[in-house]
Every structure is written in structure tokens, then in C-alpha cells.
Amino acid sequence: MPDKNQIIHLSDLHIGYQDCGTKAAKIIENIIKYEDPKVSIIIITGDIVERARQAKDFTLALELMARLKQGNFKVLLCPGNHDYGTGFINSRKNAREFRRLFIPEVANFPYLDIFGNTAFIGLDSNEAELHWYDRFFADGELGALQLTKLDKMLNDPQLKDKTKVVYLHHHPFSRLPFHCLKDSQKLKKVIENRIDVLLYGHLHLGLSQNNTWGIKIVLDGGSSTGKRMPEMFGFKIKHRVIDLADFSIVEKNYLGG
Ligand SMILES: [Fe+2]
């Protein structure tokens, strides 16, 4: 298998909420123990912490990211609404702080990484939700500028024969009031039939939605630490490993359940 051909998808760790920090630490240790960093890229689709600007939660989250990097794993992450505030009230100041600490290499979204034959494109689904009048609630909006840049990026000749993976926090198919990606249909127009994998989280559902928008793999990562994912409703903690060689998906549970 060529280098970095496998994606481990994590989402919504919510470090700082109840025992989510302990669970996140266990997940990371088990990934380091059982997975091969030569072939694995870890994508985390936001809500790494429960609340922005909680120093001890940021400290633990940064320690865990550092553990993965020390283990030679490549970590790609995009911000969730909780990373920029409380989950319901966000601010540009919090956004700047989170990005400075967690993703200093990212000047702007969409953000492109290329490994081997795969292009990974991260989006910030909070980007257009930080104005004074719509920074409340848990909606997402990519904004016209980010979508225009994404469209241009997908036309870039260097991406022509690459497998394309797009990841963002907000659930593009949600109709839950105050939790929607407001410009979901505009995103659809840009990526429909043009990318291979779409990954997201936000709703803590963890359900798969394959073959949507002409994309081979479309996956909701749920909450990897199980924040408010009641098993009685059939929501189970799953950690998905996607093999880009054949687009197969293996479900694992790094918590050992
Ligand atoms: Fe979340």
C-alpha cells in the first residue's frame, strides 16, 4: 500500500465535556498502538473541544494532537462551532485563537494538502457565521468566497487525476433548526460528481450516507467520544477507517467497546 492511503475519521471529540477528554486520550493511544502511521492520515472534523478558551481543555487537546504527530501520524483538522465559542455563541477572537494554536499552518480555507495521489481539502463551515448578527446558534455557512475558492481549487490541473477528499464540520444534509449548513445547496453545486470522499460531523449521529451528490463515500463521523449519542436510539460509537485504494470502509471502536 502506498504511503498515507488510509483515512481514520474522527469527529466531535468535545474534550471538556464530562469524560470526553479521557475517552479522546484513549482513542488516540489506541490509534498509536494499533495503526500504522505510514499509511494513515487522521482527519478530525471539528469540535475538538467543548468550549473555546477553556485553558485546560485546550491544553489536553493540544497534547493529544502532539502525541499523534510524535507518532508520525499526519493530522488534518477543521474547526467546529464549539472550537470557536460555546457551540451557540462564536466569535472571531476565539476563531483566531483556535487557529493560531491548532492549525497555524492554515492561512485560509479551503486548505489543500496533497499526499501521494490524494488531495485533501479542509473547509471552515463557521467562516460566514461570525458576523455580529449570525454568530448565535449552531448553524454553519461556508460563504461565497470560500465556495468560489473551492470551485477554483477543484479545477486546478494538479488535482486532475487525484483522489479528492473534502472535510468540514457541519452536516450538509441536516434540516435540524439552528444546526444546518445554510449554504449546503451551493456546496452541492460545487462538489457534486467532482470529489470522491466527503466527511463531516456536527450532529453526533454517526450514520453513513453513501452515494449522495455523486460522491463515492459520504460519511457522518458522529461523535467519536460519544457525546450525547444515546445507544438506545441505535447510535453507536464508530471510528471509520477508509482505504482510498478501493474505497472500502472498516468500522472500528478505538475505545475498545
Ligand atoms: Fe459536536
Q: How far is the CA of 12 from the centre of ligand 1 (A)?
A: 4
H-helix segments, 117-195: 144-154, 184-191
Taking residues 179-203, what's their average pLDDT?
94
Which helix or strand (DSSP H or E) is residue 199 part of? strand 197-200
Q: How far is the CA of 147 from the centre of ligand 1 (A)?
A: 23
Q: How far is the CA of 6 from the centre of ligand 1 (A)?
A: 24
Q: What angle do CA 111, 113, 116 make, to 5 degrees?
A: 160
Q: Are 250 and 238 in contact (CB under 8 A)?
A: no
How far the first Cα of the chain sits from its last, in Å, is 28
Q: How far is the CA of 82 from the centre of ligand 1 (A)?
A: 7
Range with the poorest average pLDDT among 20-29, 68-77, 82-91, 217-226: 82-91
Q: How far is the CA of 206 from the centre of ligand 1 (A)?
A: 11
Residues 6+ apart with CB under 8 A from 207: 220, 222
Q: How far is the CA of 44 from the centre of ligand 1 (A)?
A: 11
69's grid cell: 504527530
Q: How far is the CA of 113 from the centre of ligand 1 (A)?
A: 24
Q: Are 208 and 219 in contact (CB under 8 A)?
A: yes
- 1 is a domain residue: no
Q: Are 164 and 110 in contact (CB under 8 A)?
A: no
Range with the poorest average pLDDT among 105-109, 110-114, 137-141, 165-169: 137-141
pTM here is 0.94
Which helix or strand (DSSP H or E) is residue 166 part of? strand 163-167
Burial degree of 246 (CB within 10 A; 0-12, 13-18, 19+): exposed
Q: How far is the CA of 163 from the centre of ligand 1 (A)?
A: 27
- 257 is a domain residue: no
Phi and psi at 159, nearest 5°, equal -100, 0
For residue 18, pLDDT beyond 80? yes
pLDDT mean across residues, the chain: 91
What letter would DSSP give residue 49?
A: B
Supply the pLDDT for residue 135: 57
What pLDDT digit, counting tens, does each position of 193-240 carry? Answer: 999 999 999 988 888 776 789 999 999 999 999 998 766 667 778 899
Q: How far is the CA of 144 from the centre of ligand 1 (A)?
A: 24
Looking from the CA of 64 toward its CB, the CA atoms found within 13 Å total: 27
Supply the pLDDT for residue 53: 77
Supply the pLDDT for residue 80: 96
Range with the poorest average pLDDT among 25-34, 154-163, 218-227, 231-240: 231-240
Q: What is the percent of the chain with per-residue pLDDT over 90, rounded to a whole number?
A: 74
How far lies 107's CA from each of 1, 30, 112, in Å? 32, 31, 11
Q: How far is the CA of 41 from the centre of ligand 1 (A)?
A: 21
For residue 257, pLDDT beyond 60? no
Shortest CA distance to 194 belongs to which of 159, 158, 170, 167?
A: 159
The total of structural domains in the chain comes to 1
Q: How far is the CA of 160 from the centre of ligand 1 (A)?
A: 33
157's grid cell: 490541473
Q: How far is the CA of 124 from the centre of ligand 1 (A)?
A: 14
Supply the pLDDT for residue 224: 95
Q: Give residue 35's Cα distance to chain centre.
A: 19
Sign, Cα dihedral of 60, 56, 237, 43 = negative
Q: How far is the CA of 251 from the centre of ligand 1 (A)?
A: 20
Quote the domain boundaries for residue 91.
6-252
Q: How far is the CA of 146 from the centre of ligand 1 (A)?
A: 22
Q: Are 150 and 191 in contact (CB under 8 A)?
A: yes
Residue 136's pLDDT band, with cuts at 50, 70 and 90, is low
- 177 is a domain residue: yes
Q: In what order do the strands lie in the sheet with 111-115?
A: 111-115, 118-122, 163-167, 197-200, 217-220
CATH at 126: 3.60.21.10
- 31 is a domain residue: yes
- 26 is a domain residue: yes
Taking only Cα atoms into account, the Rg of the chain, rounded to an integer number of angstroms, comes to: 17
Packing angle of the helix pair 184-191, 144-154 (nearest 10 deg): 10
